[in-house]
Amino acid sequence: QEHGPWTMSAWMQGEMVPVESNHMRLSDTETDKYGIPKIIMSVEWTENDDKMTQDFLEQQTEMFERMGFTNIAVSDSQAPPGSDIHEMGGVRMGKDPKTSLLNKHNQLHACPNVFVTDGACMTSTSTQNPTLMFMTLTARAANHAVDELKKMNL
């Protein structure tokens, strides 16, 4: 009996090491159809990312060969950062407004009525699903906001 055609795919999920020069900013010259400045994302893969990808391709090939697969084809999609995985750290948290956008309560230094509690404030999530951490950061930020409102008697 003839089987097939069967295929199998594998994708890697590697952690991009935080790079201080990676950033997002608003364009000084380009706007969208509503006149809002467009976002410019400035981020590049590093040598470490390329090495991690190459290691994955080699390990994937070896695993497939050991399982007896044939017609193995591996490739690097060359997708730009952020296109198919969730990069973190776009809104850095820290004490100094010159080097970070958020304070310890996840508030924007420049606009304290804005809180950022998703993955943007984190430089890393390891290999785990970060949803519970986002929920915790949100609860902590909400508690802080309520405490601040109570101080103002609102």
**DSSP result, 76-117:** ---PPTTSSS----SS-B-S-TTT-SB-TTSEETTEEEEE--
78 pLDDT band, cuts 50/70/90, is: confident
Domain final residue pick, 66, 84, 102:
84
Domain containing 126 equals: 88-154
The residue-averaged pLDDT of 52-71 equals 94
- Return the amino acid letter for 55: D
Identify the sign of the CA torsion 94, 95, 100, 102: positive
Q: Reply yes or no on whether the pLDDT at 127 is more than 70.
A: no
The residue-averaged pLDDT of 18-38 equals 90
User: What confidence score (pLDDT) does residue 105 get?
Assistant: 95
Q: Are 62 and 93 in contact (CB under 8 A)?
A: no
Q: Rounded to two decimals, what is the model's pTM? A: 0.66
The CA dihedral of 16, 83, 57, 55, to the nearest 10 degrees, is: -10
Domain final residue pick, 84, 99, 130:
84
Are residues 113 and 67 located together in one domain of the fold?
A: no
Question: Is 37 inside a domain boundary?
Answer: yes
104 pLDDT band, cuts 50/70/90, is: very high
Are residues 66 and 50 located together in one domain of the fold?
A: yes
Q: What is the mean pLDDT of the chain?
A: 88
Are residues 20 and 77 located together in one domain of the fold?
A: yes
Question: Is 135 inside a domain boundary?
Answer: yes
Question: Is 2 inside a domain boundary?
Answer: no
